[in-house]
Amino acid sequence: MIAAVNDAAAMTGTGDRMNAQAQQIASAMHPFALPPLPYPDNSLEPVISARTLKLHHGVHHQGYVDKVNELVAGTSFAQQSLRQILLATAAQPEHTALFENAAQAWNHAFYWHSLRPRGGGLPAPALEAQIAASFGGVGALKEALAGAAKSLFGSGWVWLVSDGARLRVVSTHNADNPLVDQYTPLLVIDVWEHAYYLDVQNRRPEYVQGILENFINWEFAAANARGVHADELA
């Protein structure tokens, strides 16, 4: 009986070591993992359906993460964060694919946190004061975000960013990211069609307005304005 127990313990120990080694190998081969959504996938209904969120997160975002892992394998980029990769590869033609996929992986992680169930309302006083100084008020900022989303041709992103003491609304096409232009992103709205088409077809303004009124995460924006969250996402 004692021998059997010892054998079992030895086998368990061996199994644990093998599992640890397998995890280390997997980590070395695949340095990035898809971050989980910060809320259940039905939390943003009816503006963003659970069906859309599952497809957007589990297929589109996962695809960017998988492609980054494929492209960095065996290179020095495997030791860098997504933020470091996108900054290092921006405007480098030989690294276009890596930039696009790393930026899209970062953008999506940032987007999920830019939304929250039962969001909207008013920002904290410090951020609200910055918004008032830069735009005239929260209502004017929402109009600027909605206008930028409506006028952006094709696919891309609409961002609230900090440019020193001033806040700005900027739009970027495809995978582009305002970090490249030395802005600090505070929040973002994804205006690629896959973010809304299953729910509202081509009515992008309806989707954007639904986010602005119900799900915008002012707490996340305020934290980014203080330099708290952005680099923790990837």
pLDDT digits (tens, 9 = 90+) for 127-172: 999 999 999 999 999 999 999 999 999 999 999 999 988 999 999 9
Q: How many Å apart are CA 173 and CA 158, to the nearest integer? A: 9
The 10s digit of each residue's pLDDT in 33-56 is 999 999 999 999 999 999 999 999
Pairing of strands 166-173, 184-190: unpaired
Record the tokens describing residue 224, joined without a space.
Answer: 């980014």
Q: Domain 31-234, what fold?
A: minor pseudopilin epsh fold (3.55.40)
Among all chains, which residue has been given the structure tokens 């973002």?
188
- What are the boundaries of each domain within the chain? 31-234
CB 154 within 8 A of CB 176: no
Among 101, 139, 100, smallest CA distance to 120 is for 139
| Helix (H), strand (E) at residue 200 | helix 197-200
CB 191 within 8 A of CB 156: yes
The radius of gyration of the chain's CA atoms, rounded to the nearest angstrom, is 21
Q: How many Å apart are CA 197 and CA 32, to the nearest integer? A: 28
**pLDDT of 127:** 96
Question: 160: which strand partners?
Answer: 169, 187
Say whether pTM exceeds 0.75.
yes
**pLDDT of 27:** 43
CA atoms within 13 A on the CB side of 68: 31
